[in-house]
Amino acid sequence: MKKIVFGAFIALAFLGASCSSDDGGSTGNGENGGGITPPNNKIKVIDKIIIDSKFNDRGKVEEGEATVDFTYVDKKLHTVSDLDNDFHYKFIYDDKGIVKEVESTQLEYFPGGDQLVTTKYVVAEVLGLTPFNFGKLGVINGVDRGNVVDMTFYSYNYNNEVVNTYSSVMKYDDKPFGPFHTLNTTGAVDLSKKTQVDFGNSKGAIMGLDYANRVLPSNNPTYLKHTLVEGKEEVEVVITYTYDANNYPVSFVYSIVEHFVSNEWDREENKYKEVVFTEKVDGNAVIIYKEL
């Protein structure tokens, strides 16, 4: 469940900049208008994010701090990593300055001890294919002010059969998407405008063939509720921002509440029983920008 939510936020952040750098912005009438409106006046990119958090796992409380650093080479986003080396992303570019690969290094648990595992993702396998089959992944049920606010996702088994259905509901603020210029340095912005997407024929807010920038968020996400339909698993995320004079979000307070299911051994009944647990994370963060 955590991986699904983390992936959802990464997708929101990546797609948030997936309009052309010369787009005119949102129309404000519920349609995207071909791209989001970047923050005003100054072009700034994220330099680092400093996070403080408090994790409550069934009554056991643990506090933590993390600093996420963004580095740039020739005005291109080069790496995103934390100081503890729990994760590291490296962006690799072609001769035209367009990101072609992303190397992800994550600290993963193994019986003999934690190890860093590196996985390489080829951008062309997602952006640039014509058409990308989004319709198999899910349905976009609602769009508001250029933001996707209601989605359905599917997961499949090895027989290509739907085994789980998930519902995601999102909300946004009314400020321009803060990481726009950071992601714009990768060149994937223009690439995604050329990427056709097959949204499928299921009844929804967006259907048929269109381009990836049709689903761009215009603003910063403030709420996500991701639920296993007809199940007991659920994650709810709430984010509140503060902004600078140029409408960049410079800090935020957040909470994440997760309800998950585990099979626990019942000694009295001498069998495994399904138990719902709750984990909660509360925290705050500061976003530091710089001009390239």
Task: Indicate the DSSP class of residue 131.
Answer: T
Cα(202)–Cα(207) distance, rounded to whole angstroms? 7
The predicted pLDDT at position 122 comes to 85
Burial class (CB in 10 A: 0-12, 13-18, 19+), 220: buried
* Beta-ladder partners of 46: 289
Contacts of 151 (CB under 8 A, 6+ apart): 138, 139, 140, 141, 167, 168, 170
Q: What is the mean pLDDT of each run of 10 residues along the chain (292 residues)?
A: 36 37 39 47 89 84 88 95 82 90 84 84 70 86 91 93 94 90 83 81 82 80 92 91 93 92 86 88 93 86
The predicted pLDDT at position 165 comes to 95
- Ranges of beta strands (E only) in the chain are 45-57, 60-73, 76-82, 87-93, 99-108, 115-122, 132-133, 138-144, 147-156, 162-176, 196-198, 209-211, 219-228, 234-243, 249-266, 271-290
Domain range list for the chain: 2-62+128-290
Mean pLDDT, all residues of the chain: 81
The predicted pLDDT at position 128 comes to 61
Residues in the chain, total: 292
The predicted pLDDT at position 15 comes to 35
Cα(147)–Cα(168) distance, rounded to whole angstroms? 13
Residue with token string 């580095």: 71
- pLDDT (tens digit, 9 = 90+) per residue, 113-167? 788 888 998 876 666 656 778 888 899 999 998 889 999 999 999 999 999 999 9
The predicted pLDDT at position 78 comes to 95
The predicted pLDDT at position 173 comes to 94
The predicted pLDDT at position 106 comes to 83
Q: What's the pTM value of the predicted model, to 2 decimals?
A: 0.79
The predicted pLDDT at position 5 comes to 35
The predicted pLDDT at position 145 comes to 87
Cα(98)–Cα(193) distance, rounded to whole angstroms? 13
The predicted pLDDT at position 255 comes to 92
Q: What angle do CA 287, 291, 292 make, to 5 degrees?
A: 120
